Structure 1
Amino acid sequence: MKELINLRRILKRPRSVARVRRRGAHPLRRLAPAAWLAAPLLAALLLPLAVVPQRGGQQPPAPPAVPQATAAPAPPATAAAEAPQPEVSVYLSRSGQIETLPLEEYVSGVLAAEMPAEFELEALKAQAVAARTFIARRLIAGDHSGVPVPEADVSDTVSHQAYVSQAVLERDWASGSKRAGLAKIRRAVLETRGTIMTYQGQPITASFFASSGGYTENSEEYWNAAVPYLRSVASPWELQITPNLAVSYTFSNSELRSKLGLGTKDLPVAASLGASGKAVPVSAQSSTSLPAEVLSLTAGHRIKQISIGGKVFTGREVREKLGLRSSQFTWKRQAGKVQITTYGNGHGVGMSQWGANGMAKEGKTATQILKHYYSGVSFTGISTLLKK
């Protein structure tokens, strides 16, 4: 997944873009950006959604339209089925086509791409609410950022949310071994139909990631913008159930220097005595010394600043330059090389998917899961905001 959202709107349109429209799709009910977008939450709206994709799909249970501290019954299926849906236009990156389909079908495709269908139903429902909230925020704001063509609302990549097209679901999921998983995904979407998370009456930036090393992260530690509902919280549930929670990488000193952009001027220079008895500098490229010192940690126990070879980096910079799974890592020397061990997978802001599954295994509801990972949020029907 790669994780960073490109917030620049790409205005150049390809010469030809095919459009695929699903049968039964309702006309898209567009809204011009409301006045609230000019408020302080505008900065939060521009936050990227960093998503760590997982194979399979997840089904999170959605809290009711009028949230309670614990889960409340979902609206009757008949009433939900009658409610009109906005349409979502998805740019399919492989084919260059645009698939336009009803909102809830789009959420099913995201769920199939973002969370394993083997996860607990309540975790899948929580993921469905997060996915629906993400696209609701873009639709209401008229946000087309990061999409190659202006006709599309969102792409099918992790730059926004990973998405499995309806054609692929029908071809690969509707029968065989994945049939039960697809039914579970659709159940999670149906039971949370129309429900989104809001803060002060507006859809939140519902960021999520694969797993943490025990704590989530404050938004400002990754995106430099403090968002009141994206606060660091304890997340111990994934520690015993996440496969490959700790992953180690081994680098030579020369590899590290190259990837981190450390030249000889950045490195300490050793000296030895030559044949003449005078001090002769030893090339930094041949030096086995590349000292590292952690300078500070974030609230989420990740590396905030680290000095490597005399140069200070943020944990995020090291993670991205070295291709690490997480900025929560340890650093040690072993056999003349450097071993870096990471804990968890993803940027760490918002909901931990494996943490959500662990909470669901302990009997927590989707409402409880979402309220834990997104501080102070409420639950609202998307139709309520679309009517404003």
Structure 2
Amino acid sequence: MKNFYLVLIIFMIVCLLVIPITAVGERPQDALESLPSSAPADVSDIQSGESMAETDFIVYLTEEDKTAELSAQEYLFGVIACEIPPDYPDEAIKAQAVAAYTSACYQKKRQRGNPSEELKGADLSDNPSTHQGYITKEQAKEKWGEKYEEHAARITALIESVKNKALVYEGGIINAAYYAISSGKTESAAAVWGTEVPYLQPVESVGDLLAPGYLTTVSYTLDEFKEKAAALDITLEGEDPAAFLSDPERSESGMVVSYTLGGQTVTGQQMRSAYSLRSANFDLAYVEDAFTFTVRGYGHDVGMSQFGAKTMAEQGSSYEDILKWYYIGCEIEDYDVNAE
């Protein structure tokens, strides 16, 4: 009998020791099964409250020759930080966020339908001449310095307030073109790119006349001017330099559509590129041994003027008002870039 009680006591002691060890050392099976299959090895990462953002856009970073996978919010922050001053009014920044998101969705859809090898698998690049400007948060910190936290908090909140908002025309995502400063009236897509687009038509943007840098001048010596013309396959000959020039053909909004230089006709956009002009809305004169361009606005002048949006916001317009003014006949709707 004594042996029986001795065995019983030993058994109870073993149970008391083993049960606590099992409870602390093992995770219940249902808890294990509730973890995602991609759960990190360090469980503390799960408990930190951080979650990985969904990839909405793959951006090709041209200078670094690599791609970055970004959520829409991350991407829009980088676009706004690159494209416009952080002290622009709230409604102007919201308008920019919607236009930038729309443009990115449009580019992604086009890239998926007809991939460009130059993008190396990305949806779009950070090259503003072909897509949209974009900078990283680190670059934004360098750009804004001490005011980074203040600007970042405000811009992040404004982007969040228009999350997934995009411009559509007759149910389809649009090419939401924009630029810095208009010439006072925007251009049609047909005048600039040769393709008629119903929502990219001329509208008044008189606030741009007050923009710093609205009017700029660029001058070249005779030799410099001839050298630039040679890049257009134009040879300028003759004793009278003023005779090289002509009266240009202009669009409804004043942009130079075509220009006859030295007897050869080129487009205003070609002149802009060859002579490094801020826009194709210019006058050209030969005065005091120099060819001088007087240039109005900054950019291609199609779609939304960023400074025009700023002026409208300062006068009380909402972001919806601004966008519907510059993009004729368009509506603002919720749009999931990953839905298609």
Fold conserved between structures, TM > 0.5: yes
Residues 169-225 of structure 1: CA deviation (Å, up to 9, x unaligned): 4x5479722222212211220111010000111110011111012011010111111
Contact 2:60 2:120 in 1 (8 A): no
Equivalent of 2:320 in 367, 372, 385: 367
Matches within 5 A, 1:344-383: 344-383=297-336
CA 108–266 in structure 1, closer or farther in 2 if over 3 Å, else same:
closer
Deviation at 1:317, TM superposition (A): 1.4
Stretches of structure 1 that go unaligned for 5 or more consecutive residues are: 1-21, 29-86, 269-283
For residue 24 of structure 1, what is the aligned residue in structure 2? 52
Matches within 5 A, 1:72-221: 87-141=56-110, 142=112, 145=115, 148-158=118-128, 159-169=130-140, 171-172=141-142, 176-221=146-191
Residues 320-368 of structure 1: CA deviation (Å, up to 9, x unaligned): 1111111111122221222111011011111101111011111111111
Verify: 1:245 aligned to 2:198, yes or no: no
- Inter-partner Cα distance in structure 2 for 1:264 and 1:176: 49
Residue type at the aligned position of 1:163: Y
Equivalent of 1:298 in 223, 235, 251: 251
- Inter-partner Cα distance in structure 2 for 1:346 and 1:365: 24
- Inter-partner Cα distance in structure 1 for 2:318 and 2:330: 15
Contact 1:173 1:179 in 2 (8 A): no
- Inter-partner Cα distance in structure 1 for 2:324 and 2:260: 37
Contact 1:144 1:154 in 2 (8 A): no
- Inter-partner Cα distance in structure 2 for 1:166 and 1:264: 43
For residue 19 of structure 1, what is the aligned residue in structure 2? none
Partner SS for 1:178: helix
Partner SS for 1:326: coil
CA 146–162 in structure 1, closer or farther in 2 if over 3 Å, else same:
farther
Equivalent of 1:329 in 258, 282, 287: 282
Contact 2:126 2:133 in 1 (8 A): yes
Partner SS for 1:188: helix
Deviation at 1:308, TM superposition (A): 2.1
Residues 110-165 of structure 1: CA deviation (Å, up to 9, x unaligned): 11111111111111110000110011123334257556353322212212111112
Contact 1:351 1:370 in 2 (8 A): yes
- Inter-partner Cα distance in structure 2 for 1:263 and 1:219: 23
How many residue pairs get aligned? The number is 289
Deviation at 1:94, TM superposition (A): 2.6
Deviation at 1:168, TM superposition (A): 3.7
Contact 2:217 2:292 in 1 (8 A): yes
Contact 1:173 1:182 in 2 (8 A): no
Stretches of structure 2 that go unaligned for 5 or more consecutive residues are: 1-49
> Considering only CA atoms, is the larger Rg found in Structure 1 or Structure 2?
2
CA 165–335 in structure 1, closer or farther in 2 if over 3 Å, else same:
same
- Inter-partner Cα distance in structure 2 for 1:265 and 1:350: 32
Verify: 1:260 aligned to 2:229, yes or no: yes
Deviation at 1:261, TM superposition (A): 2.4
Deviation at 1:265, TM superposition (A): 8.8
Contact 1:294 1:305 in 2 (8 A): no
Identity of aligned pairs, percent?
28
Residues 69-119 of structure 1: CA deviation (Å, up to 9, x unaligned): xxxxxxxxxxxxxxxxxx211222232332212112211111111111111
Contact 2:232 2:274 in 1 (8 A): no
Deviation at 1:373, TM superposition (A): 0.6
Partner SS for 1:333: strand
Per residue, is there more helix in 1 or in 2? 2
Contact 1:298 1:304 in 2 (8 A): yes
With a CA cutoff of 8 Å and minimum separation of 6, indicate the structure with the bigger relative contact order: 1
Deviation at 1:313, TM superposition (A): 2.1
